[in-house]
Amino acid sequence: RNQANMVQKSKRRTSVPLLNDIQKVCAADLRRLSAPPDSFSVPHAVPDRLRLRVNRISLPEYDRLQYDKERLRDISIPVGIVVVRGDCDLETCRLYIDRLQEDLHQAPSTGHRVHYQDESRGVPMSGSTSRLSSNWSFLDSTSADRFYRIDKAQEHLHFVTEICQDEVFILDHEGPLGQGSSSGMPDLVVEPTSGAPLSADEQALLTAAGSGDLSTLMECVVCRGISFFVRDSEGCSALHLAAQNGHTDVVSYVLQQGSKVLLDLTDRQKGDTALHKAASEKQHAVCRLLVEAGASLQKTNFQGKTPADQADGDLELVSFLNSKRHVSSSTTNEDLETAV
């Protein structure tokens, strides 16, 4: 099977692609990469909000069409529309795209507004052509003639504006082949509420997570409907705070009741996942819980450190994390790809 291309970029506000796989970049992109610095001196205005149509491409079609941009664009299937902040990174954008798959009758979580583009259509059709699997990747559509796959472990380093304009394309690794547009599905727009302060209940959830108060945390979630995706001013979720402080019962509850997306969610300050936080504080039991739940051992923070790097000084914990990372690396051979 043809190997797909993976992309790694340093997080920055620019539309210039930085591709490690230079040999496969077309001539036009090579000229952009080798252009003098002055040619990129004009600043790019970052919009307050981006309205993006999300389009799905299946892995078999991606391979069959040899990553050809125009042909893949033609056969892509609309999934819906998301509205995100102009400085949104891919990791955050993933959260909103995943929400497109949720039951449209569910009440929106605090801090977001959910509405239909066409209320008269009601609930979307349940056709498999429009539904994503849980295993998908972003595609960079800024190249002249090809799509390039983005390494999921590096999503927190990329801005949405680096990989697309008004349409974002995603590669569905497990979904069925598309058979055309699903016209029965209304567009769902998910808008992050900009700069909204935390409510008392949201703050109570985060405080309970940080202090290990499981009963209060459960009350916030079950009785008050507070989402585990609520984050503090530094971007820390309840899982971050509980993991950092070693509260295994709270961590276990969040892992059981929350989305798996929470596992590798990074804070805004350092780019740390919950596992980074736990490793940094040498929380052995929490690290084991997170690893068993599937937390990434490869993901790096803004300083380029993995969770094992964060555990430096604790030989037992470093050994455990490295051993699990090596096992994970040896068993992961998805699509014959190697992350760059």
Question: In this predicted model, what pLDDT tens digit does every residue of 280-319 receive, in sequence order?
Answer: 999 999 999 999 999 999 888 888 899 999 999 999 999 9
Other CB atoms within a 10 A radius of the CB of residue 207 amount to 16
Region class of 304: left (phi > 0), else alpha (psi between -120 and 50), else beta: left
Please indicate, yes or no, whether the overall pTM of this predicted structure exceeds 0.75: no
Token look-up 């003639």 returns 145
Q: Where in the chain is the domain with CATH 1.25.40.20?
A: 200-336
- Give pLDDT tens digits for 19-76: 333 334 444 343 334 344 443 434 456 677 888 889 999 998 888 888 788 888 888 8
Q: Identify each DSSP E strand in the chain by its residue range.
A: 6-7, 49-58, 77-85, 112-116, 136-140, 148-150, 167-172, 188-192
Q: What per-residue confidence (pLDDT) applies to 122?
A: 33
Rounded to the nearest 10 degrees, what angle do helices 248-257 and 284-293 cross at? 10
Rounded Cα gap, residues 176 and 80, in angstroms: 17
Q: Which fold has domain 200-336?
A: 1.25.40
pLDDT tops 60 at residue 85: yes
